[in-house]
């Protein structure tokens, strides 16, 4: 099975990539140096693609420092964009979760509950960088629900789910039917298939 390195400190993101890509023949392993996930700097930018590109540039330098430049490696950046808040928290999603949390987000919004997740994946193929995106439209729930997943999952209901569940009320496999991340990962998989694992 071919191996794909994923530079992330988020075990939820890693698990979702593994659940989606491993049945398709790609082993996804967390990129580590000396048994820990290396720190990379997230730049301040109003654009998720710029953030992902800045992350992959640093990740490729780390690969080079390990003499592993020919290995494929991915990074990703995700944001939750709430319509009634003019796209907030967006690129500030991580900061918003750490400060106001899901309770704070629920307090900020009113009747218009439309929102979407956007994921940008930057892949170092071993030779060049490719970018993949995935979007999931949905609604912010009236209350926090469910125990699965991570981040904003307990307050986000994807429009495509007939059962009106938050992501946190789904298994990882069920979330991957609808999620922004799985859409980006599927595009990445289609790209990788051109050469085969």
Q: Is the dihedral of CA 81, 115, 52, 174 positive or negative?
A: positive
Number of residue whose CB is nearest ligand IMP: 151
d(CA 71, CA 7): 12
Radius of gyration of the chain (CA): 17
For 18, the token pair is 């593994």
Binding residues vs ligand IMP (CB under 6 A): 10, 77-78, 93-94, 97, 149-153, 167, 179, 181
Given the residues 34, 39, 47, 77, select the one marked as catalytic. Answer: 77
Task: Please state the closest distance from residue 61 (CB atom) to ligand IMP, in A.
Answer: 20
Q: Residue 62: helix, strand or coil by DSSP?
A: helix
d(CA 6, CA 78): 14
Task: Please state the closest distance from residue 196 (CB atom) to ligand IMP, in A.
Answer: 28
Nearer to ligand IMP, 1 or 159 (CB): 159
Nearer to ligand IMP, 124 or 180 (CB): 180
Task: Please state the closest distance from residue 15 (CB atom) to ligand IMP, in A.
Answer: 11
Residue 137 catalytic?
no
DSSP 120: E
CA distances from 67 to 2, 72, 126, 137 (A): 18, 13, 12, 41
Task: Please state the closest distance from residue 151 (CB atom) to ligand IMP, in A.
Answer: 2
Supply the residues annotated as catalytic: 77
């Amino acid at each position: 099975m071919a191996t794909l390195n994923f530079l992330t400190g988020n075990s939820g993101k890693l698990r979702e990539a593994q659940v989606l890509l491993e049945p398709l023949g790609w082993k996804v392993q967390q990129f580590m140096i000396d048994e820990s996930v290396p720190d990379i700097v997230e730049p301040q930018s109003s654009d998720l693609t710029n953030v992902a590109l800045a992350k992959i540039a640093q990740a490729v330098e780390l690969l080079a420092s390990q003499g592993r430049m020919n290995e494929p490696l991915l990074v990703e950046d995700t944001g939750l964009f709430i319509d009634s808040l003019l796209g907030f928290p967006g690129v500030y999603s991580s900061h918003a979760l750490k400060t106001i949390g899901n309770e704070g987000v629920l307090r900020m919004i009113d009747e218009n509950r439309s929102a979407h997740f956007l994921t940008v994946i930057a892949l170092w193929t071993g030779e060049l960088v490719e970018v993949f995106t995935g979007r999931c439209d949905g609604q912010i729930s009236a209350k926090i629900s469910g125990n699965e997943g991570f981040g904003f999952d307990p307050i986000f209901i994807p429009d495509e789910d007939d059962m009106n569940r938050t992501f946190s009320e789904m298994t990882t496999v069920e979330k991957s039917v609808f999620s922004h991340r799985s859409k980006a990962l599927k595009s990445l998989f289609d790209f990788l298939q051109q050469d085969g694992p």
